[in-house]
Structure 1
Amino acid sequence: MCESRRRVRASPGDLEVNDLSEPTVRPNETTVPLLPCASVEETLAFYEALGFKATYKQSKPYVYLALQWSGLQLHFGPAPKGLDPAREESGGCLVMVDAVAPYHTAFVTAMRQVYGKVLSSGLPRITRYRPGASRFTLTDPSGNSIIFIQRDEPAELEYGGSKKLTGLARALDNARILREFKQDDRQAFRALKSAVRRHGADASPVEQAIALCHLIDLAIVIDEPTDPWLTDLRGLELTTDDRQRIESELGYLVGLQEWLPPQ
């Protein structure tokens, strides 16, 4: 005799149910972030420039956008009253991937094709990618942050600079943390500028040059004058080995060759 109702014990991670007609909870969910949208037109223009496709869009009676790229889905709803995108406190999500470099390359390539340049400052923008880095951030016109993170990123990170380093080397590591993990280019600029003034005289020419290159790059991103740092950089006497080390570490910086002193 068959029972119409019986107790079912689900596999680990599932819920127990008593009715065979009721589904169990299984670990195959899909999470789709719902982000505030301050401007439908600007949001669509930015994400479509990156290669996203709109699978749904409406402006009335309320805003709702559904965008998709590769396996990534982003949905957007109405922005709360008083939202200021410039404060970059809107919303965000984490995108876990096997390797972040291909995603960064895809987005900067799309930006160059549509905008003629990489959007590295203001809104919208993408953070610079340092070879070997485990994350980067897209910030959209509404101030939302989409952070791409490598799945095997170290579980423990030293926020604020490695304690194993000293002087200018520690300041550079601190600036890296501020840029890549805290998304604070302005604070990274301030910290590195102060460190160059305090520790620059005690550092080797190549260490000074690396720090000055980072300051120039940061100054460009936050729209500060680059002349003081360019002048100091071009005044350094660098050996062939020094230049090779700088190019090896900072070759991803587009203007590097123009910044360095002539050979």
Structure 2
Amino acid sequence: MTEAAVTGARPTASIRHRRTPAAPGASRFTVMDPSGNSIVFIQRDEPAELDYGGDLAMALAMLVELAVALGEPDADWRARLAGLTLTAEERDQVRAVVADPALLDRAV
């Protein structure tokens, strides 16, 4: 055991972290340590249908890409992605999260 553990002393080195800024009305924020580990804090009564700037669309795009890579059916993910109403900016963000944006041509 270290001396700090035995005596109950706190480490003297400061812990540096990064916190994402909370926008007005936001119901979540992220804390990230220097190693890149992150924790997302979500307000308990956050509405289930809340979408943060195309997050759902990006997740579905990644699921399409993963299904294709694994040789599994991707039609359900594509259909859900195609059913979302996205702005041109959100469509660009979605296409940017996958290695091959052509995979999404029929969906976004």
- Report the TM-score, using the length of structure 2 for normalisation: 0.51
Match of 1:156 among 24, 30, 35: 35
Number of residue equivalences: 72
Distance in structure 2 (CA, Å) of the matches to 1:237 and 1:207: 13
Residue 166 of structure 1, CA deviation: 4.9
Query: Distance between the aligned counterparts of 2:87 and 2:101, measured in 1?
Result: 21
2:97 paired residue number? 250
Runs of 5+ unmatched residues, structure 2: 1-33
Flag the structure with higher strand content: 1
How far apart, CA to CA, are the structure 2 residues paired with 1:222 and 1:251?
Answer: 15
Given that 2:54 and 2:86 are in contact with CA atoms closer than 8 Å, whether structure 1 keeps it comes out as yes
Note the C-alpha offset of 1:208: 1.3
Task: Compute the RMSD of aligned alpha carbons.
Answer: 3.0
Pick the aligned partner of 1:224 from 72, 76, 81. Answer: 72
Q: What's the offset of the Cα at 1:200?
A: 6.9
- What SS class does the counterpart of residue 255 from structure 1 fall into? helix
Distance 1:203 1:223 in 2: 29
Structure with max Cα Rg: 1
Output the CA distance in 2 between the equivalents of 1:240 and 1:221.
26
| Identity between Structure 1 and Structure 2 (%) | 24
Alignment of 1:208 onto 2:56: yes
Indicate how the Cα distance of structure 1 residues 226 and 253 shifts in structure 2: closer, same or farther if over 3 A, else same: same
Q: Contact 1:215 / 1:229 at 8 angstroms: preserved in 2?
A: yes
Higher relative contact order (CA 8 A, sep 6+): 2
CA distance in 2, matches of 1:222, 1:232: 19
- The runs of 5 or more residues in structure 1 that have no matched partner are 1-154, 168-198
4+ long deviations beyond 6 Å: none
